[in-house]
Homo-oligomer: A and B are copies of this chain.
């Protein structure tokens, strides 16, 4: 397939590199021509800085921009590529948002957290596809199957729930790590002391229901420790972290007493 990519961020990088193994990435379009050029060079594509430069004979265009830019991008690009299959890569944006402007609309959503610095294992990364047209769905299914062993046809509603769950499992657990780091930094304690604990906690949760794996003072209902920890955060004038501590402890306590 001859593929165009819109965006030059983390998702665009990872998808472009993975797809370039079997397909031709023809063009990269980004608001930042610099970023487009950087990515284009890695996958032997051309960087373009205007949607008018798009090759109208592309087989597929992947919109890998932030959710809030998808609507503007499709308005801008559609007139130049009216017949080309276009997909976005978002968990929470409905396909309808594309489809109301562009008939050959679809979704190609990889459920993973992407960083520029780290390679991911595509074969184990679940990919969720959706398409307005049946033939287009078959095309996306084949493309996804080349990358991943875990491909699913999901509706926009199903994808939204999954993305919401992912925000808790990924973005919010990472924020818990961020808080832990802030706490040890104040004491000039090495954050790496917590690594075995963080990895073991994640690994455990992939082998049994996280509810049954819950540990800690809130789960045990240990009021003394809960109060000491909150006092420590209050003394450090971290009312923000105290609010998190209080809310989580209360919810864990209730969940494990009932």
Cα–Cα, bound, A176→B167 (Å): 9
Q: Mark A173-196, 1 if CB is under 8 A from B, else 0.
A: 111111111011011010011111
A72 at the interface (CB under 8 A from B): no
Q: Are B162 and A189 in contact (CB under 8 A)?
A: yes
A42 at the interface (CB under 8 A from B): no
Q: Are A218 and B171 in contact (CB under 8 A)?
A: yes
Secondary structure at the A interface, as helix, strand, loop or mixed, is helix
Q: Which residues of B contact A92 (CB under 8 A)?
A: 217, 225, 228-229
Q: Are A217 and B167 in contact (CB under 8 A)?
A: yes
Q: Are A168 and B197 in contact (CB under 8 A)?
A: no
Stretch at the interface among A48-56, A130-138, A207-215: A207-215
A interface, CB within 8 angstroms of B: 10, 66-68, 92-93, 111-115, 117-118, 120-121, 124-126, 150, 152, 158, 160-181, 183-184, 186-187, 189, 192-211, 213-220, 222-225, 228-229, 232-233, 240-241, 243-245, 247-248, 251-252, 255
